[in-house]
Structure 1
Amino acid sequence: MSGMQAKQGGGLDDTLRDFWATRPRRPKAGRKVAGVATGIGQRYGIDPVLVRIAFVVATIAGGVGVLLYLVGWLLLPEEGDEVSALEGLAKRGRSSVSAVTTILLLIALLPASGAVFGPGGPSGWLVIALAAAGLYLLHQNRGAENRERYLATAASAPPAEAAPPATGPTPPAYPTGEFRGAYQAGAPAGARSPAHEPEAPPTWDPLGVAPFAWDLPEPAPVGPTEPPRRQSRVTLVTLGLALVAGGIAIAVASQVPAMTVSHVIGVVLGVLGLGMVFGSFLQGGRGLIPLAIPVGAAAVITSVLPLGAWPGAWHGIGDERFTPRTVAEAKAGDYRLSVGDLRVDLSELPLGAGEELRKEINVGLGNVRVLVPANAEVAATCSAKIGDITCLDQRNSGLRKSTRTHQEGSGGGKVVLDVRAGTGNVEVGRG
């Protein structure tokens, strides 16, 4: 093999060089989008479905799955190409990806990198680091799989040209014994000795005296049969660990109000994801795929539609109106709703100078509106995962938006608010 072959326990530099020299190639058949996941799966001999799920998990966990896929599209050459799309744009070789497509992919990197350089940057960088570490370990352990097929070459070797038709005599079916004389050097093709016409083998030859059978090749020896592969227990072990981890997460969440249903589901999804990663090395874990898909969908839904803390997360459904008449009543009120419209009117509160009211107001699915006293000092934080925000004189809208505002009053005390909505509109105004 080549001297660049990856060695078990080799240095980081050697592994990176070998990875680049034998990097996956995006196949033209069997791919869903650009063939990045299929190429990685074929290169390392693992199921491409596991690679696709890894991209989905990276998108859910840190929002960088699309970014990583675009990078693979740009850096992994297509099957039959000399270089990748990015190298082709730099005129380093031939690539079937056009320059226009490559430029569009580079432009698409800008919004896709928002998960790294935006508000959720730390989690995005963490997912990128985990993806890089996973790819490094994958190459360290399975880099020898299909390696010779993926050595970096200028292009795939063209098929050999068909050999010209032979002009000499056609070899006999039985080129031994008395039939050798029928084919003399220099005889025209197809010439036969009239004294030696081909004869059919006898239909009955119990003693094996027919010359036809003397020179027949011996039957090829039957190779040893491969023992049946042991069934992997990755699925059962991972499922058990996921149930245990989920139970522990529920127990912790019952004591920690900040831990929500989405956190519990995320723990279970993380265990399933690790099981699929280990299963890719052990040729198992396919049974985890149908389990991870609904759990991942539940994680997305609960992150967008929060149900609050666990347990006691359900705070009712319907339209609620609260109009506290005293500061004590307002402080004691529980202004949370799971589904519906919530309105809290604090405009009539008799807040005196120096008095302060701090309140959290939360709705999971629906709209929330809060009215504050006209003469009070107000410090408000308004947030919505999906919806419009009107926070006194501040406005915002979109996904996962948050707005803070502060307005001075004219001697009517101070109101500090934290108003949240999962999916819906948030409005804070003066009465």
Structure 2
Amino acid sequence: MNSTQQSGGVEATLRDFWASRPVRPRRGGKIAGVSAAIGERYGVDPILIRVAFVVGAFYSGAGITLYLLGWLLFPREAEPRPEDTAPRTEPAPTWLALVLILLLLPGVFWLTDSLAILAVAAGLAALYGLHVTRGDRPQAPTAAAPPVEAPTGPIAAEPPSENTWVYPGPEARREPPSWDPLGAVPQAWDLPEPPPQDEPEPPGRRYRWYNPLAVLLTLAFGLLAAGAFTPSTALAGMLGLAGLFLIGGAFLRVGRWPILLAVPLAALAMFFAVFSTYPQQATDLSMGDLRASPQSAEELQRNYGRAAGIVDLDLAELPVAEDQTLRTAVDVGTGQIQVRVPPEVDVWSVCRADVGEVDCLGATADGQGVTRTRMDEGADGPGGGRLELHLTAGAGRVEVIRG
């Protein structure tokens, strides 16, 4: 542990980590170089880091979320330039940062699971522990030696001594050839220039067919799956196939065309995953807020709904006879449901949220697939009419309160 960490505690350690955070190498990484960067920075075998990410992925995607965060936050080793005297780093390009942020959005829903939260916390704690114990290791890239400048102007030829061999030729050459720019072997300048050599073809050009084939197969799979599965299942399969092609492309060092498919596919998959839970009996699929305050049993609709928005149903002034039972349901794909009920009416309510939180007359819960059922007899006890509520939100908040 270095002196800065000892004197400043956690805050100083976090500042030191950010200032000397791992740098993703240009070569040696399997996907984005996050595991290789952590392994090189702290002297750990990258294979162990990769195994940890893979194991974390089985905890509601926690490993994938951590890897994407490392891809976004760790800088990349920049291409060296002749004038550089020290290695350079560069942040992720703007377009890549936007893609990573979009891919991280599903993590907000994954991390509602307690195991996923624990896995993310364990990963961050492990990285913090590595920095505390091994953060004083020097960064792997060392400063490059300054380039040696070639002498300018003609080189004065020294008079040959009796032991100096001079290459025979019709006329001595006064300027160094291209193969000896520093003039280190003047006695061989009259040798013929070497024939030009063809530059090796970059690896990516040998697989020009890979990216078009990856996109074509992903789209073809989507067309076939659309007829056999639900839209959300078909899109999830396309996303998985695009991810496999991305991994293969990373190993072959070719372009990443499947990213162009992954971003809209992820957005569509989230859309259908939310709205596939929208009840079939709800006929109103419009967007926006809905506010209603029926004043009689005839004005109370059987169903209220929105695909996305806020439904505010005020039943505080709704008259309910002593032996009367009124029923209604409210369904929202993404948004909020709030229902106010009369202070003395018996209320039987079922509140459900696929992702979000519920507060059903004091019965609260949050997370994934949460449901609360509550029977509340009001301030006057049993009697005084009955009101039954069925409230469902795909993603959002459900609340029932006394008016």
> TM range, normalised to the smaller chain?
0.3 to 0.5
Using structure 2 for the length normalisation, give the TM-score.
Answer: 0.47
Which structure carries more strand by proportion? Answer: 2
- Give the structure with higher Rg (CA): 1
